[in-house]
Amino acid sequence: MKGFARTFILMAAMTALFMGVGMLVGGRAGAMIAFALAAVMNMVAYWNSDKMVLAYYKARPADDTVSPGLLALVKQLANNAGLPTPKTYIIDNDQPNAFATGRNPENAAVAITTGLMQRLTMAEIAGVLAHELAHIKNRDTLTMTITATLAGAVGMLGNMAMFMGAGGQDGRRHPLLGLLVMIFAPLAAALVQMAVSRSREYEADRIGAEICGKPVWLADALEKIAGNAHAIDNTAAEQNPATAHMFIINPLHLHAVDGLFASHPPTSERVARLRAMAQNG
């Protein structure tokens, strides 16, 4: 119930934010239209946000001919975690990274990039997959995926305000106010993302280490991914930074605004905690 309560609060907060932006864009009528749109989007996000994110990143189902041993590894780790085996997807992207999605463990999926397959050892890949399974086990994926969908929508509405100008109580258009909406609406959405991300990553690291049985596997993987993520572009993520919090390591680095979506805790701290687990275990 904790995960569902968190998701309900998130959806309510995003709906209120959406209505607030709608009010600034179009007054009372704009708020009502925004509420109707938010209600529809909440329903779509709950049932289809996972499919939307996978489609956005052009993820394709994994198979043993292209990635031998991967499906068996996912199945073994899922058994270790006491979870149904999630669907496994591959994203054609040179940046090593991964994320999990799905509204519940019975409808979950994990997606990893070709860059991750090429640059990490199988043990390190096991650590990454275990981390993503921990998100599924904790029911983080529903909140993560819905946040990505709704935060992206709020950002789009803010951008619309720049071109339309926000409507004041006097019925006139105010381009400057529209510019402020364009700037602050995505920032507000980013704050919501950060609120649900940082502590969640530490917990997923801890449980993921228990699932794979070797904290150093995940620690080594995080160091490799972080190093490559700062050197290799992820164009799709840069174009939709509202999805950045879903990845195991922040995929953004090209633009100054990317720092606003730094929803992950420091990699060095995550690695230190995992290595301490290994020493104490």
Instruction: Return phi, psi of residue 97, to 5°.
Output: -170, 175
The Cα 204–Cα 198 span in angstroms is 10
The Cα 187–Cα 172 span in angstroms is 25
Cβ atoms 242, 152 nearer than 8 A: yes
Domain housing 40: 2-280
pLDDT tens digits in sequence order for the chain, 281 residues long = 455 666 677 677 777 777 776 776 677 887 788 788 777 877 777 788 789 999 999 999 999 887 889 999 999 999 999 999 999 999 999 999 999 999 899 999 999 999 999 999 999 999 999 999 999 999 888 877 777 776 666 666 665 555 555 444 444 555 555 565 566 556 655 655 555 567 889 999 999 999 999 999 999 999 999 999 989 999 999 888 878 888 999 998 765 454 555 568 899 999 999 999 999 86
Give the helix/strand (H/E) hosting 89.
strand 87-91
Q: Which residues are catalytic?
A: 132
| Short-list 144, 118, 115, CA closest to 236 | 115
Number of compact structural domains in the chain: 1
